[in-house]
Amino acid sequence: MRTWTLGDRVVNRMGFGAKRLGADPDRATEVLRRVVELGVNHIDTASFYGTANEQIRRALSPYPPDLVIATKVGPTADGLARPDQLRGLVEDNLRQLGRDHLDLVYLRQQGLDSIADHFGALAGLREAGLIRHLGLSNVRDTHLNEAVAIAPVVAVSNRYGIGFGRINDDLVRTTGERGLAFVPFFAIAAEGREEGGVAATDRVLAVALAHRVTPAQVRLAWTLHQGPHVLAIPGTGNPDHLAENVAAGDLRLTEDDLARLG
């Protein structure tokens, strides 16, 4: 299965993360336009990703009708936003992207036992027409249960990858059972986290050598093998790496490969 219905929009399971576009506007424009040319129609971004939103608008507006742009709100320079501050963060994204509504907004939580007040604020913005669909990021299963009692959730985005973030195995299974998308971050970088790069462990390297592909492509293929509801959002500012990432969607791992990778 190459596609997934995200809310009411069909997206290719291989998407694109805008965090690593870089500061060069011409290079970013080249990469983003190539994203669309390669058939990618799901871009993940956030206003706290530097100039990513403005770069997306510069390169792609007016937007292709099938393009889904997902963004995240919550983190600020002073910590997690209060519920009453979330509208301002949503409006920042609207202005930067040049949109009158946002396709998908994740509540990116940190340190909350209950997300009810924060998610409730976003649910209100959904009712007001500023947001089409809602998601959750960096959450536990208790947060998901709390949120779905307030408003529909279409996606969960947590850290996950080979040998990394496997505390989310149960959440991957739960989202699949509920018909929700699971969108991993750090799938390529793993322990590298914000520093980026590719976590090229011995087992990843062995599978990559067997298939004559890159370690990053193995990690992305493994991601997509975790279930038809699992989407990939690799980020890069390099057009060549972008093409390799998209090509990873065609890499079929064997049962032996998957057993070796864990």
Instruction: Please check whether residue 183 is in contact with residue 200, taking contact to mean a CB–CB distance below 8 angstroms.
Output: no
Mean residue pLDDT of the chain comes to 96
Contact (CB, 8 A) for 68 and 9: yes
**Domain boundaries, given as residue ranges, for the chain:** 10-261
- Res. 196: pLDDT tops 90: no
Per-residue confidence band for 92, with pLDDT thresholds at 50, 70 and 90: very high
pLDDT of residue 186: 85
For residue 210, give both structure tokens: 């067997």
Active-site annotation holds for 160: no
pLDDT at 193: 73
Q: What is the pLDDT of residue 9?
A: 96
Q: What's the fold here for domain 10-261? A: TIM Barrel (3.20.20)
Per-residue pLDDT, averaged over 130-140, amounts to: 98
Confidence of residue 1 (pLDDT cuts 50, 70, 90): confident
Q: Which residues of 93-111 are buried (b: 16+ CB within 10 A; e: fewer)?
A: bbebbebeebbbbbbbbee
* 84/81 Cα distance (integer angstroms): 8
- Give 104-152 as a 3 state SS string: EEEEECCCCCCCHHHHHHHHHHHHCCCEEEEEEECCCHHHHHHHHCCCC
Q: Which two tokens stand for residue 132?
A: 């089409």
pLDDT confidence band for 29 (50 / 70 / 90): very high
Q: Judge whether 120 and 85 are in contact, CB under 8 Å.
A: no
Query: pLDDT at position 195, please?
Result: 65
